[in-house]
Structure 1
Amino acid sequence: MSMLRRLDVTRPDHHPAYVVWELTLRCDQPCTHCGSRAGTQRPDELSTEEALDVVRQLREMRAREVVLIGGEAYLHPGFLDIIRALKEAGIRPGLTTGGRGMTEALARQVAEAGLYAASVSIDGLEPTHDLMRAAPGSFASATAALGFLSAAGVRVAVNTNFNRLNQADLEPLYEHLKGLGPRAWQLQITAPLGRAADRPALLLQPWDLLDLLPRIAALKQRAFADGITLMPGNNLGYFGPEEGILRSPGPDASDHWRGCMAGRYVMGIESNGAVKGCPSLQTAHYVGGNLRERPLRDLWDNAPPLAFTRTRTVEDLWGFCRTCPFASTCMAGCSFTAHALFGRPGNNPYCHYRARTLAKQGVRERLVPQAPAPGRPFDHGLFDLVVEPLDAPDPRPPTPRMLVKRLKWPEARTPQAGGPRTDPTG
């Protein structure tokens, strides 16, 4: 799913070239790290007829690629009709899937409907993946899905969420995936969104980037030779020594992070018609309206929550990011990740440059959970940020099953001072 790498993001004529559309929240896997807490469909999801009208509006807005997600998109009754409509509208249809229900027959059907590309979520080698997905056999299903889709003529890619549980799988997982023939592999880190917010021990700490990002950069150079495009997701970065290698689609290492694209070239649509600038942004804070009530064009042009990345300045940043030399370009990295930590964007400790700068001073930042997430799709808790010696003991539990265990909060927990305290319910 490397559409954004082919866009000229320096142009001022913002339009939703890349749209991620959640067709349904219904899902066939209870993943421990799911940001949308997918499982049961929303009570008011768009009908197939309504969805086809959305396709018409997206065509009028010059959308170039629409990636269908869930839950599991194939569980929506109009799934194949929507793919056909996108294809007929001249919009490139894509799919992101866990692959558990992707059969050989369904793969042929989506190919015949016009699906251009599919990215299958594989989050580690078999023991790790199945533990994260809380579904024994899901690794085998995802691997089979890659084969079914590729054989049907669909371009296949893989996406992986890295965290403390599976970070050791990085290199061996690449060797496994290489033999399955994906064109691309997108890597991101697990953010404390949805169910992952309930499992803070699962999360990487900011200092973990000091080890992880050089490994990814080295692996990317190997991937070039193997004909695989390895790209970091939007919440992996930023501006460390390997920045050019990590961000460039080719071996020339000439690109760099250009800021959050939410509401600039990216749009997210939830299954009930709620519209926001990125599919991962917190629903309670960033929905600009509902397409059942206002046309998509009106929402895109006039809803302030969709336009915040177009209008904000460095003055809106805070903490380390406010005075960073890369502030005006980076704008604090991934907005949904920062908000998931502190209840607002503008300060993001998951930054390679920042972690390196602090390490040179002999210190590191540690995220400490302070308030729980309320248990809704795309919700978040709150964290405090503690500065401590770089060689301080690591307080996180060492065993895999302890990492995916939900944190039990004391009753009536009151957040302590230290981070911004906006709406603690997300």
Structure 2
Amino acid sequence: METPDRPLEIIWDITYACPLRCFHCYSESGRRPSRQLERDEMLRAADAVIAMRPYGVCLAGGEPLLVPGVLDVAGRMTAAGVRVSLFTGGWTLRPQMVGDLARTAARVSVSLDGATAEVHDRVRGRRGSFDRAMDALALLDAAARERRLAGDGPLSFGIDCVVVRSNFDQIDQFCTDIAPRFPELEYVSFGAVIPEGLASRTGVVEHELLSDAQVALLGSREFTRRLRALAPPSVQVSATDNLALQMHPDRPFLPVLQVEPDGAVRAMPAYEGTVGNLLTDPPERLWERALERWRDPFVVETLRSVHTMEQWAEATRKIDYRFGSDADRARIDRRPHFAPTA
């Protein structure tokens, strides 16, 4: 497969600030400085993203809706023809934001990691987070209906679920119980938890990382077809094993970059280690450095031996420690121990 001359997708964790404390948080948000840029610098970073000519940009975090000016950033990229999607836990979504969201983002995904408050709140680390997420979905649903009836542009929104052991048995309920509550809901997406960030901790790996059999099920077409049959016909249901993010050297190439809040660019989206900054380095050079990292002998050797989820988690820890900064390694060393609750 020919290597693209640019990233086709960019994930921008626009802040590390977050009201939630998810035990599997990839970016360890809420546990580290927010590092978000001022509005003018964010717009400069957005222009650098545009210069990289990606097909799409995902605004994530942390909680993007905590960032003043985030919708100005989304609008800047949308006006340049870049498809913008935004992920939110729903805690901070307010009615006055919805109109601007509809104008500046191609889609809005609400993170829901349990079909019940008990499971979702445990995964997300804050009581009441399920109710806030459901309120956000109801708000988006009402706004989407209003826009449709008024003949305005559509408001595309859906549910994104990170599948861990705690919620694996609730997957069907998302389709049969949650999706029907929101008539304008467009999609429900299920993705296997990635052993990245806090999800690469040994405790999470032992108790919440999916088994290889569960991952295989999520990646099967038959499983997705069964879920689609359970959901309302208007709702698109997808499921993925997320193994593409492993970036295994024997797997198809994944042209994705991840950007940290201050514009620092990670070479590999599921691993620590930056290769420059959007605000200081030419876009083409950042992409070249990313390609160099993927081909680094240590990366290739470490990932080529990965055949199971537990081995992936071990490889993540090795790569993070090898290419992360001193601050990254210090943060890894002080990660809190994960103890599952009943």
Question: Which amino acid is the alignment partner of residue 82 of structure 2?
Answer: I
For 1:170 and 1:43, the matched residues in 2 are separated by 32
Distance 1:225 1:44, change over 3 A: closer
Distance 1:75 1:182, change over 3 A: same
For normalisation by structure 2, the TM-score amounts to: 0.77
Three-state SS of the structure 1 residue aligned to 2:165 is coil
Question: Which amino acid is the alignment partner of residue 192 of structure 2?
Answer: I
Aligned to 1:252: none
For 2:126 and 2:283, the matched residues in 1 are separated by 37
For 2:224 and 2:88, the matched residues in 1 are separated by 26
**Structure 1 range deviating more: 184-193 or 94-103:** 184-193
1:297 aligns with 2:284: yes
1:27 aligns with 2:18: yes
**Residue 318 (structure 2) aligned to one of 318, 328, 343:** 343
1:403 aligns with 2:333: no
Preserved CA contact (<8 Å) 1:37 1:376: no
For 1:338 and 1:221, the matched residues in 2 are separated by 34
**Residue 191 (structure 2) aligned to one of 165, 188, 193:** 188
Three-state SS of the structure 1 residue aligned to 2:91 is coil
Mapping of residues 240-389 of structure 1, within 5 Å: 259-261=252-254, 264=255, 266-279=256-269, 281-283=270-272, 286-301=273-288, 303=289, 305-309=290-294, 316=301, 318-319=304-305, 321=307, 339-340=315-316, 343-344=318-319, 376=331
Aligned to 1:68: 59
Shift of 1:34: 0.9
Shift of 1:173: 1.8
**Structure 1 range deviating more: 84-93 or 120-129:** 84-93
Distance 1:379 1:178, change over 3 A: farther
Deviation sequence 1:278-336 (CA, Å, 0-9, x none): 44x222xx3112233322332112x1x44444788x97454475xxxxxxxxxx99x97
Aligned residues with identical type, % of pairs? 25
**Residue 53 (structure 1) aligned to one of 44, 47, 58:** 44
Three-state SS of the structure 1 residue aligned to 2:169 is helix
Question: Which amino acid is the alignment partner of residue 271 of structure 2?
Answer: Q
For 1:268 and 1:130, the matched residues in 2 are separated by 27
Q: Which of 1 and 2 has higher RCO (CA within 8 Å, sep 6+)? A: 2
For 1:378 and 1:189, the matched residues in 2 are separated by 25
Shift of 1:195: 2.9
Distance 1:109 1:404, change over 3 A: farther
Aligned to 1:222: 229
Distance 1:98 1:228, change over 3 A: same
Preserved CA contact (<8 Å) 2:16 2:34: no
Question: Which amino acid is the alignment partner of residue 274 of structure 1?
Answer: A
Preserved CA contact (<8 Å) 1:223 1:230: no
Preserved CA contact (<8 Å) 1:282 1:379: no
Three-state SS of the structure 2 residue aligned to 1:343 is helix
For 2:262 and 2:102, the matched residues in 1 are separated by 26
Aligned to 2:147: none
Structure index of larger Rg? 1
Shift of 1:221: 4.6
Three-state SS of the structure 1 residue aligned to 2:284 is helix
For 1:44 and 1:154, the matched residues in 2 are separated by 30
Aligned to 1:368: none
Deviation sequence 1:189-236 (CA, Å, 0-9, x none): 223333332433122232444666567334345268824333333525
Distance 1:184 1:380, change over 3 A: farther
1:232 aligns with 2:235: no
Question: Which amino acid is the alignment partner of residue 298 of structure 1?
Answer: R
For 2:253 and 2:230, the matched residues in 1 are separated by 26
Distance 1:376 1:216, change over 3 A: farther
State the superposition RMSD in angstroms. Answer: 3.7
Structure 1: unaligned runs, 5 residues or longer: 1-9, 239-256, 322-331, 346-372, 382-400, 406-426
Aligned to 1:246: none
Number of positions where the alignment pairs a residue of Structure 1 with one of Structure 2? 312
Shift of 1:37: 1.3
For 1:74 and 1:377, the matched residues in 2 are separated by 27
Distance 1:48 1:40, change over 3 A: farther
Distance 1:309 1:380, change over 3 A: farther
Preserved CA contact (<8 Å) 1:25 1:39: yes
Aligned to 1:101: 92
For 1:77 and 1:125, the matched residues in 2 are separated by 31
For 2:40 and 2:79, the matched residues in 1 are separated by 16
Task: From the two aligned structures, give the one with the greater helix fraction.
Answer: 2
**Residue 124 (structure 1) aligned to one of 114, 119, 122:** 114
